[in-house]
Amino acid sequence: MTLQTPTPFPAKRVDEQINFDRHELGAIMGLYGRMVAAGEWRDYGISSLREVAVFSVFRRTAEHPLYRIEKRPKLRHKQGLYAVIGLDGRILKRGHDLKSVLRVLEKKLIRSVD
């Protein structure tokens, strides 16, 4: 019989981070590309945290984000997994389908082109 000695520093449980999957990033980057071509957006940032994944959109690099596209799995059964949040912190659109949530930003693209 062998005795196992306890590890002096047990491995900490690594909490999983929330990330956008390939299809979600494809939809977001498609919109991002159209907005860059229209001259509306110039930079972006992606954050993956324990409770939320955030895609932030900037007009200039040194500014606060114009919009944040968030994915919160805990809200999946309530208001919806996805949300678009404006510069002032207001929720512009929330829902279960990313493409329908992103339409609020596409409307802004249509208005800027006219």
* pLDDT tens profile 18-70: 888 899 999 999 999 999 898 888 889 998 888 899 999 998 766 788 999 99
β-sheet bridge partners, residue 43 = 58
Asked if residues 71 and 81 have their Cβ atoms less than 8 Å apart, the reply is yes
